[in-house]
Structure 1
Amino acid sequence: MSDFAMSDDDLEQMYQEVILEASKRPHGKEKFAADLTQEDGGSDSTADTTVRASHEYCMPGESHQFNPTCGDQVTVHVEVSKDDPKKIERLVWDGSGCSISTASLSMMVDLVEGKTVDEAMRLEGIFQKLMKSRGAGLDDDEDAEAIGDAVVFQGVSKYPMRIKCALLGWAGLKDSLAKALATK
Structure 2
Amino acid sequence: MVDIDDGLEQMYQEVILEASKNPHGKQHFAADLADEQASTQGEAVVVAEHEACSAGQSRQFNPTCGDEATIRVEISDAEPHTIERLVWDGHGCSISQASLSVMVDLVEGRNVDEAMELFKDFHDLMQSRGKGLDNEEEEEALGDAVVFQGVSRYPMRIKCALLGWEGLKDSLARALAETK
CA distance in 1, matches of 2:80, 2:24: 25
Q: Which is richer in helix? A: 2
Identity value in percent: 71
Q: 1:23 aligns with which of 15, 20, 42?
A: 20
Q: What is the SS of the residue equivalent to 1:155?
A: helix
Could you list the runs of 4 or more consecutive aligned residues of structure 1 that deviate by over 4 angstroms after TM superposition? 42-45
Distance 2:26 2:38 in 1: 20
> Residues 136 and 44 (structure 1 numbering): CA distance in 2 closer, same or farther, change over 3 Å?
farther
CA-to-partner distance for each residue in 1:129-170, whole Å, 9 max, x for gaps?
100000001111111110101101010000000000000000
Distance 2:108 2:29 in 1: 18
Q: Which has the higher contact order (CA 8 A, sep 6+)?
A: 2
Give, in whole Å, the separation in 1 of the partners of 2:159 and 2:11.
Answer: 21
Task: Spell out, residue by residue over 1:7-49, the C-alpha distance to the aligned partner (whole angstroms, 9 max, x if none).
Answer: 72222211111100111110000000119xxxx9x9579xxxx
1:88 aligns with 2:83: yes
2:6 paired with 1:9: yes
In structure 1, the gaps of 5 or more residues are 46-58
How far apart, CA to CA, are the structure 1 residues paired with 2:39 and 2:61?
A: 21
Partner of 2:45: none
Please tell me whether residue 62 in structure 1 is matched to residue 57 in structure 2. yes
1:100 maps onto 2:95 in alignment? yes
Which of these residues, 166, 172, 182, is aligned with residue 177 of structure 2? Answer: 182
Instruction: Determine the structure 2 residue equivalent to 1:76.
Output: 71
Q: What SS does the corresponding residue of 2:56 show, helix, strand or coil?
A: strand
- The root-mean-square deviation of aligned C-alpha atoms, in Å, is 2.3
Give 5+ residue unaligned stretches, structure 2.
Answer: 41-53
Determine the C-alpha separation between the residues in 2 that align with 1:139 and 1:156.
17
Separation in structure 2 between the aligned mates of residue 64 and residue 84 of structure 1, nearest angstrom:
26
Instruction: Give a deviation string over 1:107-137, Cα, whole Å, max 9, x none.
Output: 0000100000000000000000100000001
CA distance in 1, matches of 2:38, 2:99: 28
Q: Kindly indicate whether the alpha-carbon contact (under 8 Å) linking 1:60 and 1:80 is maintained by their aligned counterparts in 2.
A: no
Structure 2 CA distance for partners of 1:34 and 1:90, relative to 1, 3 Å: same
2:16 is matched by which residue type in structure 1? I
Q: Is the 8 A contact 1:28 1:106 kept in 2?
A: yes
Aligned to 1:151: 146
